[in-house]
């Protein structure tokens, strides 16, 4: 009877531990799932201007940073790749995919997602098979160095996207200046006159 009770207690304890472990895993899974969605939007920015002008500014921003653009399959979608080697045995690739769309209200929105991929030079053994039919002998024939992916991740740093959007904004401003040079000069002159009048009024104030 005592043996049966001990077995029952041991079995119950095991079930409780398994249930707790399952609950913990489920809770962790839910936590990870909830962390993947955020109210903050570092991957998008709204710019003044038409879709054509803003998309052209995005393309200029990518080209100015040395990104090689792939042939676009959809309107408003661009993909660029940039490679560099911080170490002779390490190759780092940045992949940027951007999408821009006209909001039909004088503004356009740009979405961008960046990924980083690290590839390292690795030694891979090679072999040669000799024989006919089932009598086949495989022998090592040397080794070769190949690039193998060792890391791949989506860039989460908000500063990275802020710098990209700031670069796009600079080209958007250039597009607006080229399209409306007179309006831009008039607005700048009016702003300068306003600042001068404000300075004079402040100087007259006792």
Q: Is the CA virtual torsion 62, 66, 70, 71 positive or negative? A: positive
| Residue 163: inside a domain | yes
Give yes or no for a contact between 124 and 146, defined as CB atoms under 8 angstroms apart: yes
Q: What is the pLDDT of residue 74?
A: 77
Q: What is the pLDDT of residue 8?
A: 43
| Residue 201: inside a domain | no
Here the CATH number for the domain that contains residue 155 is 3.30.310.80
| Residue 23: inside a domain | no
Q: What is the pLDDT of residue 173?
A: 95
Give yes or no for a contact between 47 and 164, defined as CB atoms under 8 angstroms apart: no
| Residue 49: inside a domain | yes
Distance CA 181, CA 49 (A): 15
Give yes or no for a contact between 107 and 51, defined as CB atoms under 8 angstroms apart: no
Q: What is the pLDDT of residue 131?
A: 59
**Residues facing residue 115 across a β-bridge:** 95, 154
| Residue 17: inside a domain | no
| Residue 21: inside a domain | no
The stretch 50-69 carries a mean pLDDT of: 95
| Residue 60: inside a domain | yes
The torsion of the CA quartet 47, 49, 55, 56, rounded to 10 degrees, works out to: -120
| Residue 156: inside a domain | yes
Domain that holds residue 111: 38-127+138-177
Give yes or no for a contact between 96 and 112, defined as CB atoms under 8 angstroms apart: yes
How many domains, the chain? 1
Taking only the tens place, the pLDDT of each residue in 89-132 is: 889 999 999 999 999 999 999 999 999 999 988 776 665 666 56
Q: What is the pLDDT of residue 3?
A: 47
Where is mean pLDDT largest: 34-48, 90-104, 167-181, 188-202?
90-104
User: Where is average pLDDT lowest: 22-26, 69-73, 94-98, 181-185?
Assistant: 22-26
Q: What is the pLDDT of residue 57?
A: 96
Where is mean pLDDT largest: 7-16, 107-116, 179-188?
107-116
């Amino acid at each position: 009877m005592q043996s049966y009770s001990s077995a029952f207690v041991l079995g119950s304890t095991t079930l409780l531990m398994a249930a707790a472990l399952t609950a913990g895993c489920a809770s962790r899974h839910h936590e990870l799932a909830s962390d993947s969605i955020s109210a903050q939007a570092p991957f998008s920015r709204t710019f003044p201007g038409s879709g054509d002008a803003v998309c052209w500014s995005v393309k200029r921003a990518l080209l100015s940073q040395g990104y090689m653009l792939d042939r676009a399959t959809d309107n408003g979608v661009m993909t660029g790749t940039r490679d560099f080697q911080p170490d002779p045995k390490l190759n780092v690739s940045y992949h940027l995919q951007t999408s821009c769309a006209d909001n039909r209200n004088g503004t356009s929105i740009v979405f961008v997602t960046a990924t980083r991929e690290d590839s390292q030079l690795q030694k891979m053994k090679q072999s040669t098979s000799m024989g006919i039919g089932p009598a086949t002998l495989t022998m090592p024939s040397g080794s070769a160095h190949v690039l193998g992916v060792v890391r791949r991740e989506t860039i989460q740093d908000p500063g990275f996207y802020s710098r990209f959007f700031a670069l796009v904004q600079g080209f958007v401003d250039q597009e607006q200046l080229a399209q409306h040079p007179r309006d831009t000069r008039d607005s700048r002159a009016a702003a300068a006159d306003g600042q001068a009048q404000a300075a004079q009024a402040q100087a007259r104030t006792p």
